[in-house]
């Protein structure tokens, strides 16, 4: 005995509308039976949102009128496409007004003098280059560890857990000061800090340590081992692999700017008696190629010095291109000083092999396809001098420090593991896990 319900009569459009109004009125009633003023509140919210939307539209129109520029807090201008990047703001630090930032104002903490000195060197460009910045950071962190004293009174028995926790917090504040007030960190510095956090955290699990001096010595030895194995010995291994790609006579090598790994390769090849000529390509505003040129000339190597805009005229003479890298992305693309992508593009059009010399500790798990999402802005006054006013009407200066070279333009990547194709970077990323590198004893 199944009872089939009767079909409901079809409602007209007016009846459906009236039913919906009743349902809405019932939902809007309060427990006391009074009708809530929700619709009126919504209307007021919409009315308040309209002026905000109009202000956004007007600001967008102004940005389009100003050729896509966006005003920043310090009075300068940045192209709208790069407005998401941290703005260059090292003027106060370089003028001598060293600010410790809001993170240290509450506790009135003062950093180690070596931390402030290195921060100033980061800001003014005295310490430049991925390897140099990372090596200097590890040296200063060793000083911080050796001179650190526990904040809480130490018990009779040495508490390694307390030391681990306080050192971890101290190192985080130091690194935050460098990256926020001085200069953004490189991929090499980020990977080194990951290793630093691991060894400090593992310190609390080491029950064999009986004194603070012993724990500090262990940390410094581990940091020295990291620098020695991942930077120094890695550079020597890269030189041994890259030399095999240089013939004994008749080679014309092209390098860009100053790369520690590339310069070591050329110097080692010259010591082995190989005869070749080097074309050093340089570009404004940093002109880093001049320091590379001086080192090669002191070693007695024949060199040619050109600017980036003259590259196409001499590319027909080049037999191989050696480039450095600030970072290797997981998809095989190379992040390096601005101008590297243009050199790789021209080299591919002339069928010249492009070899990138890079240590494995510079590999990043980040995937990047262009140079806009992640980059660093340099001092706009290095491109053009704005004078005392700091601004010129209808003129925006853009000083990008890096560009991204797609993996299609790279013939091979020379690491301490050997010569590898760009597609093998993801494999290296899995093999060179930072947890594995924390096992230095």
CA distances from 293 to 59, 201, 248, 290 (A): 48, 44, 21, 5
Q: Please report the DSSP string for 310-339 in residue order.
A: GHHHHGGG-SEEEE--SEE-TTS-EEEETT
Cα separation, 114 vs 98, in Å, equals: 13
Mean pLDDT of 231-259: 94
Find the range with the poorest average confidence among 45-54, 190-199, 340-349: 45-54
Q: Please report the DSSP string for 284-305 in residue order.
A: TTT-THHHHHHHHHHTT-EEEE
Average pLDDT, the chain: 82
Angle between helices 212-227 and 160-177 (to 10 degrees): 50
CB of 200 closer than 8 Å to CB of 166: no
**Which run of H or E residues covers position 59?**
helix 38-65
Q: Which token pair is 287?
A: 């002109």
CA 112 from chain centre, in angstroms, equals 25
Mean pLDDT of 151-160: 69
- Quick check: helix, strand or coil at residue 276? strand
Q: Is the pLDDT of residue 197 over 80?
A: yes
How does residue 12 score in pLDDT terms, banded at 50, 70 and 90?
Answer: confident
Q: Is the pLDDT of residue 436 over 60?
A: no
Quick: pLDDT tens for 49-94: 555 555 554 554 555 455 555 555 444 566 778 888 888 866 556 6
Q: Which residues contact 392 (CB under 8 A, 6 or more apart)?
A: 386
Mean pLDDT of 150-166: 77
Quick: pLDDT tens for 319-331: 999 999 999 999 9
Q: Is the pLDDT of residue 109 over 60?
A: no
Find the range with the poorest average confidence among 31-35, 76-80, 101-105: 101-105
Phi, psi of 334 (to 5 degrees): -115, 125
CB of 343 closer than 8 Å to CB of 323: yes
């Amino acid at each position: 005995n199944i009872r089939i319900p009767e079909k409901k009569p079809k409602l007209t459009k007016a009846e459906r509308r009236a039913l919906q109004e009743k349902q809405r009125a019932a939902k809007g009633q309060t427990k006391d039976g009074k009708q809530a003023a929700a619709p009126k509140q919504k209307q007021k919210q919409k009315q308040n949102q309209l002026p905000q939307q109009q202000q956004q539209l007007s600001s967008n129109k102004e940005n389009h009128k100003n050729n896509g520029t966006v005003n920043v807090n310090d009075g300068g201008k940045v192209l709208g496409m790069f407005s998401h990047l941290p703005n260059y703001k090292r003027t106060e630090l370089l003028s001598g007004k060293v600010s410790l930032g809001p993170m240290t104002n509450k506790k009135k903490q003062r950093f180690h003098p070596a931390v402030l000195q290195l921060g100033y060197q980061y800001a003014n460009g005295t310490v430049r280059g991925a390897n140099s910045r990372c090596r200097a950071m590890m040296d200063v962190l060793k000083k911080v560890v050796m001179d650190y004293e526990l904040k809480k009174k130490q018990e009779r028995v040495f508490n390694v857990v307390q030391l681990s926790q306080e050192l971890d917090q101290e190192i985080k504040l130091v690194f935050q000061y460098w990256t926020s007030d001085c200069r953004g960190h490189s991929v090499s510095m980020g990977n080194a800090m990951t290793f630093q956090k691991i060894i400090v955290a593992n310190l609390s699990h080491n029950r064999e340590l009986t004194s603070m001096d012993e724990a500090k010595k262990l940390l410094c030895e581990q940091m020295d081992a990291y620098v020695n194995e991942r930077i120094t010995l890695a550079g020597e291994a890269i030189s041994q692999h890259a030399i095999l790609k240089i013939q004994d006579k008749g080679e014309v090598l092209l390098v860009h700017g100053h790369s520690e790994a590339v310069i070591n390769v050329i110097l080692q090849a010259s010591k082995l008696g190989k005869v070749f000529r080097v074309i050093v390509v340089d570009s404004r505003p940093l002109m880093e190629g001049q320091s590379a040129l001086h080192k090669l000339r002191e070693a007695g190597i024949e060199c040619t010095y050109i600017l980036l805009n003259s590259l196409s005229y001499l590319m027909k003479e080049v037999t191989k291109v050696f480039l450095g890298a600030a970072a290797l992305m997981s998809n095989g693309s190379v992040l390096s000083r601005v101008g590297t992508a243009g050199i790789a593009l021209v080299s591919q059009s002339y069928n010249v092999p492009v070899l990138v010399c890079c240590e494995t500790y510079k590999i990043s798990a980040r995937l990047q396809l262009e140079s806009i999402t992640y980059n660093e802005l340099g001092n706009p006054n290095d491109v053009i001098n704005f004078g005392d006013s700091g601004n010129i009407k209808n003129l925006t200066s853009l000083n990008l420090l890096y560009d991204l070279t797609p993996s299609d333009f790279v013939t091979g990547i020379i690491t301490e593991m050997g010569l590898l194709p760009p597609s093998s970077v993801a494999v290296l990323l899995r093999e060179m896990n930072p947890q594995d590198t924390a096992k230095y004893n």
